[in-house]
Amino acid sequence: MGDKWFPTGIKPLVNKTYALSRGSNVLQSKVDGGMPRFNLDRTLEPVPFTLNFVMSELQYSIFLSFYDGAIRHGGDSFKMNLDSGTGIAEHQVNIVPNTLKASKPAGCNWYVGFTALAEVTPSQLEACDALYNLYQCYGDQSEALIQSFEDFVVGFPSA
């Protein structure tokens, strides 16, 4: 597991093709004359993120130094803050081979994109369906309920 961090000042665009996909850990079996059956192959799955960046000349130079030196042309994993649905959190990732693309229109910044494959996401590690159950009971009021509970706990005098 790599202990290097993606350069902190370089942030992916979240309004342009920030995407992830899930479901690679479910197998589908055909059944003669019926609906296919689905089975869970493993509980944890690698999760690919499609990331795009706009980088200045300096940022692109820093990125290349990170890519070619720190993570050895993408051969080593690294840590990166990503949002996989539970807020921005640390993810251990690799750059998927042959997905790094960079272009620089005349007189503009660098446009860089790649697919980062996360080893695991926080929601996979928190295999608890309490939030789902809470939402089933309280719907859109769940957020206000959680905030009220947090306010109560924070305001409660410590012993």
Q: Which pLDDT score, from 0 to 100, does residue 113 have?
A: 95
Q: What is the pLDDT of residues 52-94, one digit of tens each?
A: 999 999 999 999 999 999 999 999 999 999 988 778 888 999 9
Domain residue spans in the chain? Answer: 19-126, 128-159
| Tokens describing residue 24 | 């690679």
Radius of gyration of the chain from its Cα atoms, rounded to whole angstroms = 20
How far is 73 from 151, CA to CA, in rounded Å?
47
Going by the DSSP 8-state scheme, the letter that residue 84 receives in this structure is S
Q: Which residues in the chain land under pLDDT 50?
A: none
Q: Which pLDDT score, from 0 to 100, does residue 42 have?
A: 54
Beta carbons within 10 angstroms of residue 60's beta carbon: 19
